[in-house]
Amino acid sequence: MQTKPFRIGTRGSPLALAQAYETRSRLMAAHGLPEEMFEIVALTTKGDRITDRSLAEIGGKGLFTAELEEQLASGELDFAVHSSKDMPTVLPDGLFLSAFLPREDVRDAFVGAAAPRLVELPEGATVGSSSLRRQALIRRLRPDLNVITFRGLVDTRLRKLAEGHVDATLLAFAGLKRLGKQDVPTELLDPRDFPPAPAQGAICIESRIGDKRVNTLLEAINDRTTHNAVTCERAFLGALDGSCRTPIAGHAISEGGKIGFYGMILTPDGSRFHDISSEGSATDAERIGRNAGEAVRATAGTGFFESWS
Ligand SMILES: NCc1[nH]cc(CCC(=O)O)c1CC(=O)O
């Protein structure tokens, strides 16, 4: 008897679709299944529809995931493929992140029209970015620059750059690579000066807790090292992220059973920041991240978070 195909939920953006296709290919290879066993279902989310305001303004990360999660919970979809970076730290009851694909390059890419490197931009040049973290990190390194909010699909942003709306922009290198645009960056930013967003560069799969058929399928493509690193980074974010208005960076490297973590919070103007390094056993990934978040929160004090809101 022919089994029903798995229904894979995704956003409809070119990046999201590329990520869903990559997931399907890995599942086909891991299980020797034909393409017909997977049906890709693309949904338009609220985050995709509203492109003229910053995410923090319109309600944060859940905007990209709510519709997919409703259809997952109702059984309309079997699993959903996401950029881990876009996932809220708290998921709806009954859903979990069941698998992570091997992580892509975590670095932010600088795309400069006026100069190839961030440090070489002329004084007062305009940089477009939608991310509070990137905006704050740019201002920290280059307080003279004019940083503007700049949302939309990768192609839209690159077009606006080409048309001269801005002198430079920043994008995740991972996303550019997945779109075949690895040659677009004029500089790749060092994660020590420019730490990435928690979970940047990692594709995750969300499914129903207790759905044995689906979770067994997904387990085969889970990358343990990525799972550990992203779990640590998300725990850091979870310990800090009350409002989604705080610029937060976090990067964990998991290797040989160990995990090393570096995290940072900044004021939106980049004038003040607190950072933390910690390490431990990879089996403690979640605790290492959460402890780092609590420690940095305590060092910063409540005044730090209230100083700009
Ligand atoms: N919110 C947008 C988003 N979510 C994930 C990525 C890139 C891919 C990734 O980090 O895995 C991007 C685009 C960007 O930041 O340039």
ipTM above 0.90, yes or no: yes
Pinpoint the residues of the chain covered by CATH 3.40.190.10.
1-102+202-222, 108-188
Q: Is the pLDDT of residue 1 over 50?
A: no
The CATH number that domain 1-102+202-222 falls under is 3.40.190.10
Measure the CA–CA gap between 66 and 174, rounded to whole angstroms.
24
**Ligand 1 centroid distance, CA of 202 (Å):** 9
What is the pTM for the complete model shown? Answer: 0.94
Instruction: Please state the rounded mean pLDDT for residues 168-196.
Output: 97
Task: Give ranges for CATH 3.30.160.40 in the chain.
Answer: 223-309
CATH class of 108-188: alpha beta
Locus of tokens 């056993």: 281
| Mean pLDDT computed over 179-185 | 98
Is 86 among the catalytic positions?
yes
For the domain 223-309, what is the CATH code?
3.30.160.40
Considering the candidates 86, 108, 167, 241, report the single residue annotated as catalytic. Answer: 86
**For ligand 1, is residue 195 a contact (CB within 6 Å)?**
no
Cβ atoms of 103 and 229 closer than 8 Å = yes
- What's the pLDDT score for residue 57? 66
Give the relative orientation of helices 14-31 and 212-219 as an angle to the nearest 10 degrees.
90
Give the pLDDT confidence of 33-81 residue by residue, as tens digits. 999 999 999 998 777 776 666 666 666 667 778 899 999 999 999 999 9
Q: Which residues pair with 81 in a beta bridge?
A: 205
The answer to which of 8-12, 144-148, 239-243, 299-303 has the lowest mean pLDDT is 239-243
Query: What residues pair up with 87 in beta bridges, in sequence order?
Result: none
d(CA 203, CA 73): 20
pLDDT band at 132 (very low <50, low <70, confident <90, very high): very high
86 lines ligand 1 (CB under 6 A): yes
Percent of the chain residues topping a pLDDT of 90: 85
